[in-house]
């Protein structure tokens, strides 16, 4: 993650070698790293321990910068928990409780943390709930709320903060929900169209939510009420590997399927 002139990298890895790889004399540690992108020099390195086991220590998540009441921090999800770190030093500011108290060893994490309206959101894997932390915490943060509705979960897509709420796309229950940050109240939940999985994270723009499935079908949803406005097949015949998030820039949508990149211009009126 490149933010304010620094490159932030997280290395969250299991504590035992895999197929003989990763063994180190002093053990295998997870850590965060801040790098000067101009010369590659390390600015700081901060260990990021966790009491998770085996694969549950690992994460595909991206570290996320967040500014709340003037405090700048780096949000990190992995190792069965959420943490917040000082951007200047890497020092851990707060830590949530574990969403894996029984220490299941195969709960690797994919969705990155997301924040908005003074709330930080993390998704536990494997059809587990989503968890919210109140921003500005110190030390043991605990949970502000935990989702209770079965559909509000995500194993792969990162939730979206848009128009004051969280948009949670579930690849495991084939639904998408709009959730109030401070309470966890679900404003609407609708099924995602078709039978193909949606693992790409949702995108918000112009009062709409855009999602894309494995086949390259793009669905447009009204953010206000969850109504599906349209679904457009943009993949090629035989496509089943589309994972790219729909991107937005200067009134245009950029959609990448397996073999093509599309630009959809929103300036034309029909």
pLDDT digits (tens, 9 = 90+) for 51-94: 999 999 999 999 999 999 999 999 999 999 999 999 999 999 99
- Using alpha carbons only, what angle is made at residue 105 by residues 99 and 107, rounded to the nearest 5 degrees? 50
* Residues 114, 243: Cα–Cα separation, whole Å: 19
Q: Note down the domain range covering 234.
A: 195-270
Helix (H, G, I), strand (E, B) or coil at 55: helix
| 241 in a structural domain | yes
**Locate tokens 């949970």: which residue?**
143
Could you give the CA distance from residue 45 to residue 215 in angstroms, rounded to a whole number?
A: 41
Look at residue 224 and tell me whether its pLDDT is greater than 70: yes
What domain count does the chain have?
A: 2
Q: State the distance between the two ends of the chain, measured CA to CA, in whole angstroms.
A: 39
Instruction: Please compute the mean of the pLDDT values over residues 193-203 and round it to a whole number.
Output: 95
What does the pLDDT read at residue 154? 97
DSSP H or E segment with residue 210: strand 208-212
Rounded CA-CA distance 160/128 in Å is 18
Question: For residue 181, is it within any domain?
Answer: no
Task: Report the CATH number at residue 112.
Answer: 2.40.128.630
Give the confidence band of 26 by pLDDT, cuts at 50, 70, 90: low
Alpha carbons 173 and 176: distance in angstroms, whole number: 9
Q: Are residue 125 and residue 248 in the same domain, yes or no?
A: no
Q: Give the confidence band of 16 by pLDDT, cuts at 50, 70, 90.
A: confident
Regarding whether 109 and 30 lie in a shared domain, the answer is yes
pLDDT at 15 over 90: no
What global pTM score does this model have? 0.93
| Tokens matching residue 46 | 């901060």
Instruction: Give the CA-trace dihedral at 220, 223, 225, 231, to 10 degrees.
Output: 0
Q: How far is CA 188 from the centre of its chain?
A: 20
Q: Percent of the chain having pLDDT more than 70?
A: 96
Residues 63, 118 within the same domain: yes
Q: What is the pLDDT of residue 270?
A: 47
Q: Using 50, 70 and 90 to split pLDDT, how confident is the model at 4? A: very high
Average pLDDT over residues 137-158: 95
Could you tell me if residue 28 is inside a domain?
yes
Greater model confidence, 21 or 217: 217
Are 134 and 217 part of one and the same domain? Answer: no
CA 148 – CA 201 distance, rounded (Å): 21
**Is the per-residue pLDDT at 256 higher than 60?**
yes
């Amino acid at each position: 993650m490149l933010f304010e002139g620094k490159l932030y990298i997280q290395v969250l890895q299991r504590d035992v070698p895999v197929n003989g790889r990763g063994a180190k004399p002093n053990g295998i540690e997870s850590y965060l790293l801040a790098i000067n992108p101009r010369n590659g020099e390390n600015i700081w390195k901060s260990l990021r321990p966790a009491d998770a086991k085996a694969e549950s220590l690992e994460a595909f998540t991206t570290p996320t910068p967040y500014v709340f009441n003037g405090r700048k921090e780096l949000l990190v999800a992995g190792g069965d928990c959420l943490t917040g770190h000082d951007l200047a030093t890497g020092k851990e500011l707060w830590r949530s409780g574990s969403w894996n108290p029984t220490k299941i060893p195969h709960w690797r994490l994919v969705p990155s943390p997301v924040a908005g309206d003074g709330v930080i959101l993390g998704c536990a894997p494997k059809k587990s709930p989503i968890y919210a932390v109140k921003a500005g915490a110190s030390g043991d943060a605990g949970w502000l709320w935990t989702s209770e509705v079965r559909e509000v979960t995500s194993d792969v897509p990162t939730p979206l903060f848009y128009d004051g709420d969280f948009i949670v796309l579930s690849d495991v229950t084939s639904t998408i929900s709009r959730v109030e940050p401070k309470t966890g109240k679900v404003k609407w939940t609708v099924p995602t169209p078709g039978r193909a999985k949606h693992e790409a994270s949702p995108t918000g723009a112009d009062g709409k939510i855009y999602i894309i499935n494995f086949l390259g079908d793009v669905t447009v949803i009204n953010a206000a009420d969850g109504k599906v406005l349209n679904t457009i097949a943009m993949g090629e015949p035989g496509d089943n590997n589309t994972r790219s998030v729909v991107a937005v820039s200067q009134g245009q949508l950029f959609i990448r399927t397996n073999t093509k990149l599309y630009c959809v211009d929103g300036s034309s009126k029909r």
